[in-house]
Amino acid sequence: MIGFDMEEFGFASGIYYDDEQEGLEEQIIIRFSHVAAENTPKGRAASKFAELLEDKTNGKVKVHLFPNAILYNDTNEWEAVQSGSVEMIAPATAKISEHYPIWQILDLPFAFPNHQAVEKTYEGKIGEALLEGLDHTNVKGLDLWYGGFKQITTQESVIREPDDFNRLHFRTMPGAVIQEQFSQLNASTSIIPFNKTYQNLEVNFVDGQENTLSNINTKKFYEHQQYLTISNHGYLGYGMLMNRDFWNGLPSEVQESINEAIHEATAWGRRHAIEINDQHARAIRSNQSLEIYTLPAEERAKWRQALRPVYDKVEQTVGSNLMKEIETIRENYAY
């Protein structure tokens, strides 16, 4: 937690009083902590969820949003939701895979040829299995949210072919699949919190990083990265998680309203994530200091071949059934 006094803001217990809501015997506050900027797919969907839930409960339930890691960052938000220090987080799927390795399947490189393939995965058998897999844990899986395809930025030279990664050092988020991906490309990695990425690029501790266009733009990574490769090599999505004890203590009608609001926010986010990333793409393309390179089909094929061993390792963890499902989706939505 960074410079934030919970008691000062009235967050010392589970049910809170809001003097703007006089007449309500109990006001339920959901503290929702996440690391992304407000003008990103996750940030915008979070705002939509808060708006929907307050409307559905006539103000009885309020969502207090804490974006930009102002409350917890991506190295300590998991402990925060486990302990009940916050009620809700939205970690990247790779971070969930640290605790529940079956989630590694969502971070496979080049698993998703397009946005339709992501939707089929998130809202089909795979997404259902991953969320159900949390049923006997102390976090409640509410839904999967959309972020965007990941791209590569570097400082010294543009990345075109797999050999271009050789001996470079990249910032990554946690996750066995992501570490293995860079290992297969002969690159080294450091796991660095998202909110510390900019300063590590600034001092040249790392040569590059992977992220969505919305994150690259809102966090101004381009100020210390000269090259951007549009690779679409992976997809950054999020698991919407809630502290289970908090969930179990809610009235059934509030649980129902949360489910309705989260699913409506998911649908809203799915429709708008592409548009939001496109807006950031236009802003990035107007930046004269950044050299942008888009992988052609023949180079994309080389990347896929170089990263194929990642699939063999992941199958040992997630099992053949889920791997067959992801392979079927990839084939059905092939480039």
Q: For position 123, what pLDDT does the model report?
A: 96
Q: For position 74, what pLDDT does the model report?
A: 87
Q: For position 13, what pLDDT does the model report?
A: 38
| Residue 63: both structure tokens together | 């969502």
pTM: 0.89
Q: For position 26, what pLDDT does the model report?
A: 82
Q: For position 287, what pLDDT does the model report?
A: 80
Q: For position 288, what pLDDT does the model report?
A: 76
Q: By the 8 A CB rule, do 222 and 284 touch?
A: yes
The residues of the chain scoring below 70 in pLDDT are: 1-25, 335
Q: For position 2, what pLDDT does the model report?
A: 40
Q: By the 8 A CB rule, do 42 and 145 touch?
A: yes
Q: Which of 67, 37, 32 shows the shortest CA–CA distance to 216?
A: 37
Q: Which of 262, 54, 139, 24 shows the shortest CA–CA distance to 16?
A: 24
CA distance 253 to 169: 50
**Residues in CB range of 83: below 8 A, 6 or more apart:** none
Looking at the DSSP bridge assignments, the partners of residue 140 are 242
Q: For position 334, what pLDDT does the model report?
A: 83
Find tokens 């690029």 and name the residue.
Answer: 201
CA distance 212 to 233: 11
What residue ranges define each of the domains in the chain, with the CATH number in brackets? 7-332 (3.40.190.170)
